[in-house]
Structure formats: structure tokens, C-alpha cells
Structure 1
Amino acid sequence: MIHTTVGQLGHFFVILSFVTALVATVAYFLSSLGRRASVSVQTISVEEPQLAYAGESTFGGKKAKRKVPVQSTQVATPEKDDWKTLARWAFYIHGLAVFGVGASLYYIIYNHYFEYHYAWSHSSLALPVQYMISCFWEGQEGSFLLWLFWDAVLGAIVISTSRGAAAKQWEAPMMTVFALVQAFLASMILGVVFGDTFKLGSSPFLLLAEAMPDAPIFTADPTFVPKDGNGLNPLLQNYWMVIHPPTLFLGFALTLVPFAYCIAGLWRNQPLEWIRPALPWTLFGAMILGVGIMMGGYWAYETLNFGGYWNWDPVENAVFVPWLVMVASLHTMLIAKRSSTGLKTAIILTISTFLLILYSTFLTRSGILGNASVHSFTDLGLSGQLLVYLLAFVALAVLLAARKWKYIPSDEKEASVYTKEFWLFIGATVLCLSAFQIIATTSIPVYNKILESFGKISNLALPADQIAHYNKFQVWFFVVIALLTGVGQFMWWRKLDNKKWDALITPGIITLLISAGLIAFGSIKNPVYMALLVAAVFALVTNGTILLGVIRGNYRFSGGAIAHIGMALMLIGILYSAGFSKVISINTSGLLISKQDEFTKNDNKENKENTLLWLNQPERMGQYQLTYRGQRIEARDVPGYIPRKDVMVIEGDFRGIAQRDIEQGGKIYHKKGDTLALYPENTYYEVEYREPSGKVFSLFPRAQVNERMGLLASPDTRHKADRDIYTYVNSVPDPSAENKWEKTETYSVAIKDTFFLNDYVAILDDVVRTNQVEGMDIGPNDAAVRARVRVLSKTGEQTLNPAFVIKNRLVAHPAEMSDELGVRIQLNEIDPRTGKFTFAVNRTQRDYIVMKAFEKPLINILWIGTLIVVMGFLISTVRRYREYRKMQDKLI
């Protein structure tokens, strides 16, 4: 049955969201114009003289000539604004329509309506509910919808929090920008085709038959519905992928608020007044976007197997750059009231932050990074539309800023090096230089594409070693940034007055003493690492000194110092966890694990840094004794992992049949023969670590052999206070060869005779009568014997006990299998005359893994530093918001 109603409803909501966004844009625009046409003017007093531009205004304590009369001291209040009322209703309906689109799409995914291309492409019957949520935004259409949702929520908040005549003045011009952005975003999922060539957006409600009309199956059966979908990318089957994308897209959406305030301020000839209402949003946006980026880093650390949390991937860079610029804009906004240079820079950087978000969207979704990044989306034919989206707002922002630039007062003299404005501006400049270096290199595929469009061939290529390339520059940028946070904080709190720097002597001495101890104790020999460590410790000491003084007065002013302390801790955590990460899985066996090194200049690296573990055979790895304990699988209602051999997985299903009682922690969850729900796509490989103290713990790195993507390995990590042990598998036996046995070999031996089992020496010790055979009831009239075959290997002995059963005059030969030995043995014949016993033996691939393990020292300092940065941003956001609300309350 094809469920078309819900898709039609969802598509209706898409069209409604697009139309209402356009209506809201036009109505808010006309409201902004109408406000100037017919208003009653109310004069109010402004507490802070630097905000008044009528006549001669003061700017940073200096008089600046007025160029145009602005409206900071006159609040225009419409007696009646029908356009604004219409615009509000249109935007609220738009928000409800966006919610309707999301609800319709999730309903399709949750109910497994695989006749829809989106559900078939991204979900499957085996997925649990939380990963169905991840399916929602795995595709481009869903991620655009998520962005639409957050913008709609933020727009509603902006409208509802506009209190008083002064605040309401911002609503119309701001929401004009908001609604226009929403119209562009809604067009991305519109999915309307004009003629045979022009397509506006890609609809998430496209039926599979519409998306693949030439597929033979639909020619034969137009009503065909697949029984299952392709499933979610296994790398996204992680709980961080449930919360990371929404957080990141909320960060994207939050860049729109200060951008809209900035455009509204320029539009209304108020180039400074927008700063105060925009500042809390900028702080909050920088916090959320930063958290989203770090969530992505932690997801990569837990899920990907490149051995870290940051790989300087082009898609990672495309998100990191707007955050750097946003933080730079934040610092210039703090000095905008006292520095014309700061104000102009704040305008440029606030606009740039939003435009860089659009540019990063173009990079990741146009397909231009398809060969440069594993994270980028493929092109859905939206690259032209994305480019129009980007260029439209570039043109809008640049033209408006150019036209209004003359209204910004200029400083009569340059800022002194002994002022906080100078040091905050320098800090913002270094952040922007860091961002420029990253985006300039990341955009190489764009340069090539532009040259190709003009018929030229470009030889530019992304760096072969991305990590080394970016680190070479970025380390020094952040050395300077760390030093500037210390000096800047002392300047901000006026600790360096009268052109004297004496206040920095004590923190400088403490920094040198601590750094010298850490360098000597940690045997740091790399000069670059030394410089970064000294700079980070300096930032820690100076900001800590400021924090102690601030807390004694009012903790609400401590946000900046706390955020800078967190940043310093993050740099220390990055330095040690990345700079001193050590491979501990050194291959000492002499075995050639990877043949690729024979044909590359890899200096035998893969052979040196991977260790081969056979099932249940201990191996020494540094201070640890490692033992591979076998394959494990997840059951949906059983905690932890269960041995794979305890469950017979039903092929093509997400269920299995228990081969024995499934027990965990003394509780039986399933009896033998029960059917249980599984997560069958992933296999976990239990690796037992035994420490010198005798303490034992197990790690469960995950691997999936995927038909489309090959071996997908995800690490497992043991978190300790001072380090992480990070383990993943590099190679596993081919699942297609599992349970494939070689040709049967027969051996006729007498008791105490020796023979060979899969290259092992085996001895038939005895054959004795038994009354117990697994899976069979031995009655009084039945007969059963069991052989005792002792197998000798280099790690010890193992006993196999194949049985021979006569039951109801029928003969049975229950096989005994050993994964460790890779053999299956049956007792087929007993000859009383000769005393010979005939065994049938099959061999198969022994179970093994090739694994790699790291020690990452002090990585927890990175995560602790991240939390402290968030705390600092949060304190500053609350403080600035309260200041703005108090000012608004006074003006009401």
C-alpha cells in the first residue's frame, strides 16, 4: 500500500511555509517603510551619552561631528501598523507550517513508508527510535528543514520579546531579514519543477517511483514498495549524531540574529545602537556553535578511526571559520561604543559571520568538496540555487553597508597601545587571520572550479598532509591569541595604567616557573610545543589572577576570564593529547600484517603500528597483556554485549534466535530458542586488557563490513584521569567466508595416536561412554560415547569432545567446533575389530583481529576546558541580556 496522503500534506506545508515567508518579508518591509511615513514621534532620554548622535555626539569620550540625524533619541511609534500585524501572522503561520513539514517527514520515517525516497534512502526496519531521529537530518532536505525550524523558533522569540517602543522599532527591519532568509531556506526543499530543466529545491516527500522513474522494477510494477530501506550510514549510528546536528544548526541559525540587527541598524541609520541588543545573541550564538563543533569533534573521536577529534577536514574547517570570525566580532562589539574602528570592524565581522555560514553551506552541499571530504553531501542539483542564496545576501549586505558607511563617525586620533580597545582589536585581527588561512586553503576546490568554468586547468590541490599544513600556521596564531588573552584582560580591568607593565611581572614569573617544570618533567623538546605551552600557561595564570579579583567584587563580570581560562586549558589538552599521542600496539611478532607497505613509502608503518590477535591467545602489548575474546553483538533489550555465537542471526532481518539462555548479571533475559531483537549491522570485538597490577578491563571496538563503504571501524576508549586508551580494529576476517569449511579430511587413529588438526598436533587421549550430549536426550536404550582429543598449540592445550550417538537405531555425529583452532571435528566411525576411530575434520579461517591502540595523555583537560568555556560564555550572555532588558525597561 502506498501512503500518499501524508506526503501530499507535507508538500502542502512546504509550499505554505515558502509562501508565508514571502508574505512576511514583503509585509515587514512595507511596515519598515510605513513607519517612516506616518508616525507619532515620542522623545525619550538616553542614559548613556555615547548613544546619542543628534547634534554633536561623543564617541569614546571624543566629540564626533554629526553627519545625519539618527533616531536614537527619537522613538517612532506607529499609531496603527496593519502591515506589521499581517507580517506577524504570516511568520507565525510560517512557523506552524515548518513544524508541519517536520512532523510529516518524521511520520514517514517512523512508520517505515519506504515508498518515499527519503525514508528508503536513510532509514531501515532495524533502526531504533533514536537513530530514526538521526535519519531525519542525514539527508540535505532534512538538514535544511532543521535549519528552517530553528530560524522559525528564533524569529518567534525575537517578535515576542520586543517590549517597549524602542525595542519594537527593531522588529520590522530585523524580521524582514529573517523572513527573507526563511524564504530562501524554504525554497531549498520546495521541489517544484518548471518545464523540463528548471528545478527549485529538492522535496523530501518525493516518491521512490518519482525519484527513480527508469528503474525496471517500477516499469514492471508501478506500485512496488521495498520491504526495507538502505539504512542509516553506520558512522552516524551514534548518540552524538542525535544531538550534534541540532546543536550545530541552532548555532547556524543564531548567527542570523546579530546579522539581522546589524542590517536593521544600518538600514535605520543607527550604526551603533544595534550592538547592545545583538551582543547577548552573539555571545549565545558563539557558545552554541562552539559546543556544536566540539560535539562533532567528540563524535569523531568516538566514531571515526583516524585517531583523534580533529582532522582539519574541509567540512570541519567550513564550520570552524565562521565561529572564529564570530568570536572576533564579539570582541570588537565590546569596544564599538568607544572606538570607531571597533564599530566598523564589528559591522564587517558580524556580516561576514553570517555570509561565511552561507558559504560553508555552499561548500558542503554543492558537491564541490565531494573528492576532498568524507563529510560533504553530494550535489542534488541545488548548487546553482545555493550560489544564488549566497550571492543575494552578499549583495544585500555589501551594498547596504557601502551606502551607510559615511554615517559612521570617525575617531579623531588612533587608539593608544595602552588602551583596552587596541588590544581587543589586535586579538580580533589575529582571530581573523587564523580564519583566513584556513578558509583560503579549504577553498582550493572552489578556485579550481572557477578556473574550469573559464576553460582553464588548475594545478592547485589540497595539502597531502592536511594536519601538518594547518598546524604549521594555526599553532602560532593560537600562541599569539593565548598571550593576547592575558594582556587584554589586564588592560580591560585597568591593571596596566600609566604606561607601566609592572602588573604583568608576577604572572610572567609564575608562568615561566610552571612552564619550565612542565617542559622538564614532560621532556618537551619541540620548540613549537614549548611556545604553545608557555602561552597557554600565561593565559591560565593571568586570567586566573583577574578571576580571583573579579569574584571578590561581582561574579557576574567573570565570564570573560572564565572563558579565557577554559580556552587555555583546551590548548594544553590539545598540545598533550595530539602532540604526545603514542601508538602502543607495536608489532613485535615479525609477521607482515600489511602488504601495502611493500608498494608505498610508508616505511613499514602499518606493520609496525598494528598488532595481530588470534582468538583467546594472549599477546604482550607494552605494559598490557591483550587477549581477543571474540565477536559480540547487541540485543535491544539486553544490557552490554552478548557473544555472537550465542545467537543465530536471521539474515535480512533484525532478529535472531537464542542458541542458549541469554544471561547478564545473573538475570536471564531470553531462554534458548527465543527470538530476540538485535542491532545486527554492527559487530563488536572484545579485547581484554590486563594491567601489570592484575586489573582487567575490556574494550569493544566496533566494525561493520559494509557493501558500499568497505570496513567501517569505530574505536572504543578507556577513559582514565591522566590519559585515554584508544583502540580500534584495522582488519577482521571476511564475513562472507564465515562458516565456509574446506574439503573434509578423514583420520583413522587409535587411542594415544597423534594426528594433525589445522597445523596443530592432536592426540586422541580416550573415548568414553557419556549420558549427556548437548541438544539430545540419551535414553536407557540409547548409546553415546565421547572422544577426548587433546590439541597442542604454542599457547597451551585445548580439548575437543566430538560425540557418537546411537538413538532409536539411528546414528548421529554431533560436531565439535573451535573458533580458536578453526576446526570442526566429527566422530564418524568406531571399528571394534581394529580399535580405530575415524574422524571427519574440516578447516576454516581462524578468528582474529588486527588492531591499533593509542595512549592519549591529558585529553580530559581538553573536554574540561570546553565545559569551562561554555560556562564563561553563559555567564557573559546572561549578564549582557540583563543589562539590555534593564535599559529597555527604563525606556518603556
Structure 2
Amino acid sequence: MINTLIGDVGHASVIVAFVAAIVASYAYFMASRQTTEESGDTSWRKLARGAFYVHAIAVVAIIFSLFNIIYEHRYEYYYAWSHSSNHLPVHYMISCFWEGQEGSFLLWMFWHVALGVVLMNAGKKNKQWEAPVMAIFSFVQIFISSMILGVVIGDFKLGSSPFILMRDFMADAPVFAMDPNFKPADGTGLNPLLQNYWMVIHPPTLFLGYAASLVPFAFAIAGLWKGKFSEWIRPALPWSHFAAVTLGVGIVMGAYWAYETLNFGGYWNWDPVENAVYIPWLVLVGGIHTMIAYRRSKQGLRASFILVITSFVLILYATFLTRSGILGNASVHSFTDLGLSGQLFTYMMAFVVLAIGLLVYNWKKIPTTEKELSTYSAEFWVFIGAAVLCLAAFQVLVTTSIPVYNAFLGFIGIESNAALPADQIAHYTKFQLWGGVAIAILTGIGQLLWWKKANKKSFKDAITMPLMLTLLFASLVIILSNKFDIFTFKLDNPVYILLFVVSLFAVFANFSIILGLLQKKVTLSGGAVAHIGIALMLIGILFSSGYSNIISQNNSGLLYSREFPDEINRDNVLLWRNTPVQMDRFKVSYHGQFQEVEGVPGYVNKELLYQTDDMYKAIARGNIQVGEQVYFETGDTLELVSPENTYYEVNYESDKENFVLYPRAQVNPNMGLLASPDIKHFAGKDLYTHVSTVPDPNEEKDWGELQEYEVTAGDTIVINDYIAIFNGIEQIEQVPGVQLAKGDVAVQAAMKIMGERKNYHAHPVLMIKDQMMGRVPEVIEDLGIRITFLNIDTENHRFKIGVNVTQKDYIILKAMEKPFVNVLWIGTIIMAIGFVMAIVRRNKEGNTGEGKTPKAKEKRKAQVA
């Protein structure tokens, strides 16, 4: 009998969380209608807080229940069976948790709960915001918790439960008709591409950014609702910084995962799912700039409302895009439709209508200023920068939404054949490149004007040194790249030169600001630090993407296969095992297949591993050692970490350096060849290597006709052009993978084969077990040889050896150099540091009330000047 207790606890907790969110939302709504100062009645607030805490406890209980189902391998539940398997390590079980839609919604709920608790406790000090802000928070939680309710009434479905049993999900399967309590022995496992440590930390970071974007939105709605049209900016600003940095870092984490896991040769492919996160981040950053401008000059309040609200709505739109199934044919990693598309659309439209309604109703009440903006006004350039960010986001949004247009037109009966661009990278890049140029220019000019006196003379003084350094350094790089063989590229594209120059200018301009603030108050320099990070990211993207250089060009004149795409035949090298090939400045050679073994650093040659019936266990065919340390001896049973993955040893040799890379690949029965690169990091570039084609390991090798040899000890024979010496035979007590009983006999031949690179030792086995003769051949992959011990002529002391040969092992390899890609990652870290500095500063201002009194304002103006 299947024990459903843990699933019942989880499902009951979902219902409690849903109901508690409704109670908290209503109670906070009622509490916000009458302030405590007016009535002295705190009953609604107390009820709301209690309900939200109940909601929080219920969410934790759901998480515990779902992870318990995964961790304990409770495959009677569909979620555990479809996302997990017996041999996954714990950190990948965590990835299983949010691989499915239900788990990702639950992760989102958890972060809302965590942030809500923080806001509630902050609200005890500033009670005017707690009720309206938490009413919005709780209202959002109603919608998200409804996504995992799993209530079905007739044809009506509300949510998809992660606690559904296999027998209910697959009720028509014959196995459950025969045995309703059937439980699979193993699960289908985690998607191989998600078995990466970045997938353990990238989704939580990204969803924290999703959740944090709700905070400024909630403050903006609360400001409209309660008529506090300007007061919301101060508490919302540090949260906006926090949302922007977590969302931005989460996006780059996903990019780095793609860089080291996928094999398209980069970190950004303009996939619709990538775009869906990138768009709201751009708008949110634009909103931060208008909020800061309002804090300083009381200009841009309406723009701040629009951008903060739009950023959250775009988060909801991204959720709809990625989870409704509408991108199923347009994206390689969107979720499939769970029948929630209508629910997701309702969720999105509820907040669109709420936000637009409040904004339109209060539009004329929102304070504005008649102050004119001059060319040397910092606010003017801030608004231009926000506009550029929004235009860049709009361009991506319009194209990414093409599947939505088609679906909508189809819904109203109009057939649409609109398709996404054939070359999406080229399509987006031609627009985003100019957006990057504009952002870099505005980043430098805007910051200089922000921190200097807004007049022509002071601006000229401020810009002179950064401009001189920019021209000097840019000229140096252009000359070195074009006239000398120092870099792997020539910086000769006019548009790339422009982007490089303006990005350098942004770096030097902001650095000059930091130097000036060191003498005053360094904590004010968070914005300058963040802008340096953005400029460095632009430089890293420019060189790593614009000057990515494929060095594995096929110069052999051979067509590998007419079935291969032109890209493989043109941009890849064929490497026969142990046969060096010249590739650019490297001599490259492939030296065999390796696997990960538990407890052994690095990788172990497959030739040392005898595979057992259990794919996760192998027997050592020789001592397994690294350096002088022996980890396993011959005959030991060992655990394979990921037997489906094979690592291909590729040796690079040049006049200056020698190193070995181990690109990974597996032939997946459902997904085909899944290849992940190995990357050699240099100071100025990365060498990015992955396999494009390997022989199918599931296909039986095409062995040639058996050649038989009669030998005695000491005889020399020629096998497939290799000299082989037969040294004799010896009796052995153990045969890998075979249990010898009393009376069984096993002997092995000892042979030495002289290969091109090294000598090989072969030990084919002949045994008599249960009065039947059996043979265990020795396969030497390097030489494409299989040796079988056929028979013994005891009277004449002669031995019969059989040899089959096959095509030698090979791989088809792609390698490319990515110059200065590390500048992108370094820029991301610097950007994050700048945002954190800004959060600390804005939070301190909010706690101390800095800037509220006339005296504080004068002090702040003096610091700015």
C-alpha cells in the first residue's frame, strides 16, 4: 500500500497557504483603509500579520514536503518520477525541485514570503506603508499559490499540483490497472543539461530578482492608492537597486551556465526565454534612474511610476511567455503547457488593469514641475538614458512577442504566418549594438554632469582628462591589433571601434568621479562603480562576441559526411585517435574516452574500467592512480559519477604551452548528442572546445573478419600493422564481472602490442565455467583491435588467438577563441558591487531620513558640488 501522508501534508499546506493569502490580503486591505493613528484599532493589522505568518509557515511546509518526495525517491509521485532519479547527488536534487513549473512557482512564493516578512518587520517602524504594500504582496501570493492548487472540477482546472500520484496522472496506463500501488524503481532523471552547479544557484537568484521587483511595484501602487505620490520613492529606491542587481546577476549566471554547458559557442543566443528576463531588467534600470532624478530635482515622478509598474508587469509577461507553452516552437528551454495559460493570462491582466486604472485615475494628481531641462542638466541626460534603455527593451519585446501575436490572431480567427527572424543573433545585435553605444556615451556624460556643476566650463574641465585617456588608450589598442601580432583580432570594424571608444570613455569618466569622491565621501560612488561595471561588460561582449575566432577550420579538403550540416564540415576538425592534427598554432590530438569515478580526482580512462550490469558500478581492470597515489587496485568495485557522460581527452601542444582539455558529451536517446565544452582560460582570452560528432556508443562496432593465429610463448606477430608479442599465459583467480565457482578455471594470455605512442598490454581471458567454455576478449580502442583467447593445445603447448579490427575511434571537434571574455565576468562583479554600495547608501538615507530636512538638503547639495 502506498503511503500518501507526505503528499497529503503538502497538498493541505497548499490549500492553507492559498486561504491564508486571501485572508492576509483582505485584512491588509481593510487595515489600509483606516490608519491606526485615527482609530487606535489594530485588529485588522494583527489579523493580517497572523494570516501572512500562517501563509509563510504553509509555504515552508510545502517546500519540505516536495523536497522530501524528491530526496526519498518517492516515485509514486509524478513530480519525483519525472524530475529525479536514484543516483542524483543532493545538489542536483535541489535542481530537480525547481526544474518543473510547480517547483519554480513554489520558489517564487518562498522569496515573496521572505521579502514579505522583512517588509512586515520594517513596517513596525513605518506603519504607513505596511498595510497597503503587504496587501499587494498578499494579493500576488493568492495568484501564485493558485498555480499549484491542483483543483479540478469537471473541465475547470485551477493550478497544477506537484503532489499528484503517478496512478492519477497516468490513470490510463495498463500497469496501474493491474497494480494500483505500482511504484517505479527509478525516475526519469534530471535533464542532463541542468546537471550543472550553476543550475543550483542561478534559478534561486533569478527568482529572487523576480520577487524583489514586486517591492518597488507594491510601493508605487500603494503610493497611488493612498495618495502618497512622492513619498513612495524613498522606501522603494533601495529595493529597486536590490531587484536590479539580483535580476542582473541572475541573468549573467544563466549566461555563464550556457557558456560552459551548451555548445552553441557563446553565452547569449537571444532565445525568447533569455529575452523575457532581459526586457524587464532594462526597464527597471531605467526606472531607477528616473527615481534618483526625482529624489534630486523633483522631476520624473510620472516616468518613475510608469517604469516601475511596467518592469513588474513585464516580469508577469515573461512568466506567461515561458510557462504558457506559447514559446514551445520558438524556444529551446521554455516550459511546456500544463493547462495554466488561461490562469497565467488572468494573473497578468489583473495587475495590468489594477496598475493602469490607478495610474489613469491619479494621473493629474501626480506632482510635476515646470522647471526646464538644459543641455548641461544632469536630469536631462538621465531621462535620455532611461529612454534609450526602454527603446532597447521595446525592440527585443516586439520581436520576442511574435508567437503571442500569432496565437492572439489565431484566437480571433485570423491566420498569421509571422515568424521569428531566421538569424536572431544578427537581428537583435544590429539594434542592441547601437543601444550599447548610446548607453556607454550617456553613462559617461550623464555621470560627469551629475557630479559636477551644470555649466559649460565645469563640464569641459571634467570631460577633458577622461577624453584624453580614452583617445590614448583606444589608439594604442587599435594600432597594436592592426599593425602587430599581439591580439588574435584586428580592431578595424568602425562600429566596433565606436563602441570600444565610448565604453572606454565611460570607464575613465566614472573612474575620475570615484577619485573625486574619495576626498569627500566614498560611499556616494556606488553609481560610478556600477557604471564602470556596465562599461566593462560592454567591452567584454564586444570582443568575446564580435571577435570570436574559430580555429578548428577544416583544411583537409575532405567532406566528413554529406549528411552533416555545412557548419560541421567547414568549422570542425576530424581527430582520429592518437593522430595529431595541426589546428591554427596548436598541434591537437585525441587520446581516448574517460569517465568520472567517485573518489578519484580528474577523470579515469575507460580502458581501465570493466562495466558491470549496474551502469553506475565498474570493476578496475588495473590500478587506478593519480600521480603516486593509488585510489583503486585491480579487481576493486568502484562507483561511476555520471556513466552517461563521456569525457574526451584532447591534447593541445604549441611552442609556448601544452595543456589537456576534457570536453564532455553523451548520446541521449531522446535528445541526441548533448555536448558541453571544456574551456582553457588565459589572461586575454578563452579557448572554447567541444565535440560536434562522436561515434554512437549504442551502436555495435563493425568488426572485421576474425583472423586466427597459432602462437607459442615468445612468438611475434603483426596485428593491423602493429607488432605484437605473445608472452605466455597465466591462471587467474578472478574475472571481472564473472563469479567463479569451485571447479571453474580461468587463464589469461599476456600480450604486448607496440603502438605509435606507447606499448599496450592485452589480457584476453579463456575460462571454463560450469563445464562450458567462455571468453572475455580484450579491446584496445587506441588501435581499433579486439583480441580473443580462442583455445589451448595442451599437448603441443600452442595457443590460438583471434583478432578483429575495426575503424579507429574518432571525434569531430570545434574550437574557438573568445578574446577578453573575462572582462564581461569582471564587469558583472563590479556592477554588482556598485549596486550593493548604492543599496547601503539609499537604505541609510531611508533609515536616517537624510535629505528630508532643509538642513540635510543643503548638506547633500554641498556633497554633490
TM-score > 0.5 by shorter chain: yes
Aligned-residue offset at 1:408 = 1.3
* Mapping for residues 441-452 of structure 1, pairs under 5 Å: 441-452=399-410
Distance 1:399 1:679 in 2: 56
Alignment partner of 1:347 out of 285, 305, 310? 305
DSSP-derived class of the 2:591 partner = strand
Distance 2:362 2:107 in 1: 34
Alignment partner of 1:147 out of 108, 133, 157? 108
Distance 2:783 2:654 in 1: 28
Q: Deviations over 1:473-510 (max 9, x none)?
A: 00101101100011101111124425764222332232
Distance 1:11 1:807 in 2: 59
Alignment partner of 1:120 out of 67, 71, 81? 81
Q: Name the counterpart of 2:860.
A: none
Q: Name the counterpart of 1:842.
A: 804
From the superposition, tell whether residues 292 and 651 of structure 1 become closer, same or farther in structure 2 (CA, over 3 Å): farther
DSSP-derived class of the 1:703 partner = strand
Q: Name the counterpart of 2:327.
A: 369
Q: Name the counterpart of 1:32.
A: 32
From the superposition, tell whether residues 540 and 222 of structure 1 become closer, same or farther in structure 2 (CA, over 3 Å): same
Q: Name the counterpart of 1:172.
A: 131
Matched residues, percent identical? 52
Distance 1:414 1:649 in 2: 78
From the superposition, tell whether residues 799 and 408 of structure 1 become closer, same or farther in structure 2 (CA, over 3 Å): closer
Q: State which drifts further: 656-665 or 702-711.
A: 656-665
Q: Name the counterpart of 2:503.
A: 536
Are residues 1:821 and 2:821 paired? no
Are residues 1:415 and 2:377 paired? no
Distance 1:868 1:858 in 2: 16
Distance 1:102 1:661 in 2: 45
* Mapping for residues 438-517 of structure 1, pairs under 5 Å: 438-498=396-456, 501-503=459-461, 504-517=463-476
* Mapping for residues 179-578 of structure 1, pairs under 5 Å: 179-194=138-153, 196-337=154-295, 342-498=300-456, 501-503=459-461, 504-522=463-481, 523-578=490-545
Distance 2:332 2:819 in 1: 28
Q: State which drifts further: 838-847 or 17-26.
A: 838-847
Q: State which drifts further: 647-656 or 260-269.
A: 647-656
Contact 1:284–1:877 at 8 Å: present in 2 too? yes
Contact 1:364–1:376 at 8 Å: present in 2 too? yes
Q: Deviations over 1:804-837 (max 9, x none)?
A: 9899999997744311122212354688999997
Q: State which drifts further: 234-243 or 410-419.
A: 410-419
Are residues 1:697 and 2:659 paired? yes
Contact 1:272–1:337 at 8 Å: present in 2 too? no
Distance 1:315 1:139 in 2: 15
Q: Name the counterpart of 2:70.
A: 109
DSSP-derived class of the 2:519 partner = helix
Are residues 1:160 and 2:118 paired? no
Contact 2:30–2:44 at 8 Å: present in 1 too? yes
Are residues 1:687 and 2:646 paired? no
Q: Name the counterpart of 1:70.
A: none
2:374 partner amino acid: S
* Mapping for residues 701-712 of structure 1, pairs under 5 Å: 701-712=663-674
Aligned-residue offset at 1:696 = 3.1
* Mapping for residues 726-765 of structure 1, pairs under 5 Å: 726-737=688-699, 741=703, 744-746=706-708, 757=719, 760-762=720-722
1:148 partner amino acid: M
Contact 1:753–1:763 at 8 Å: present in 2 too? no
Aligned-residue offset at 1:590 = 3.4
Aligned-residue offset at 1:791 = 6.7
Aligned-residue offset at 1:683 = 2.4
Contact 1:800–1:816 at 8 Å: present in 2 too? no
- Output the aligned Cα RMSD: 3.0
Distance 2:597 2:711 in 1: 43
Aligned-residue offset at 1:847 = 2.1
DSSP-derived class of the 2:618 partner = strand
Aligned-residue offset at 1:289 = 0.6
Distance 2:614 2:761 in 1: 33
Distance 2:852 2:372 in 1: 34
Q: Name the counterpart of 1:4.
A: 4
Q: Name the counterpart of 1:53.
A: none
Distance 2:458 2:262 in 1: 51
Q: State which drifts further: 679-688 or 422-431.
A: 679-688
Distance 1:756 1:78 in 2: 102
Q: Deviations over 1:35-56 (max 9, x none)?
A: 2xxx54xxxxxxxxxxxxxxxx
Q: Deviations over 1:253-290 (max 9, x none)?
A: 00000000000111111111000000000011101111
Q: Name the counterpart of 2:22.
A: 22
From the superposition, tell whether residues 811 and 282 of structure 1 become closer, same or farther in structure 2 (CA, over 3 Å): closer
Contact 2:728–2:751 at 8 Å: present in 1 too? no
1:27 partner amino acid: A
Q: Name the counterpart of 1:50.
A: none
DSSP-derived class of the 2:837 partner = helix
Alignment partner of 1:714 out of 669, 672, 676? 676
TM-score by length of structure 2 reads 0.91
Aligned-residue offset at 1:413 = 4.0
Aligned-residue offset at 1:679 = 2.2
* Mapping for residues 728-877 of structure 1, pairs under 5 Å: 728-737=690-699, 741=703, 744-746=706-708, 757=719, 760-762=720-722, 767-769=726-728, 815-826=777-788, 828=790, 839-877=801-839
From the superposition, tell whether residues 473 and 828 of structure 1 become closer, same or farther in structure 2 (CA, over 3 Å): same
Distance 1:871 1:457 in 2: 49
DSSP-derived class of the 1:613 partner = strand
Contact 1:773–1:803 at 8 Å: present in 2 too? no
Q: State which drifts further: 807-816 or 728-737.
A: 807-816
DSSP-derived class of the 2:824 partner = helix
Distance 1:796 1:107 in 2: 52
**Bigger relative contact order (CA 8 A; separation at least 6):** 1
Contact 2:283–2:307 at 8 Å: present in 1 too? yes
Q: Deviations over 1:87-118 (max 9, x none)?
A: 00000110010000000000000000000000
1:470 partner amino acid: Y
Q: Deviations over 1:361-404 (max 9, x none)?
A: 00000000011111100000000000000000000000011111
* Mapping for residues 629-708 of structure 1, pairs under 5 Å: 629-651=591-613, 653-693=615-655, 695-708=657-670
Flag structure 1 segments of 5+ consecutive residues without an equivalent: 41-76
DSSP-derived class of the 2:674 partner = strand
Q: Deviations over 1:326-365 (max 9, x none)?
A: 1000000011245565110000000001000000000000
DSSP-derived class of the 1:636 partner = coil
DSSP-derived class of the 1:336 partner = helix
From the superposition, tell whether residues 191 and 650 of structure 1 become closer, same or farther in structure 2 (CA, over 3 Å): farther
Contact 2:449–2:459 at 8 Å: present in 1 too? no
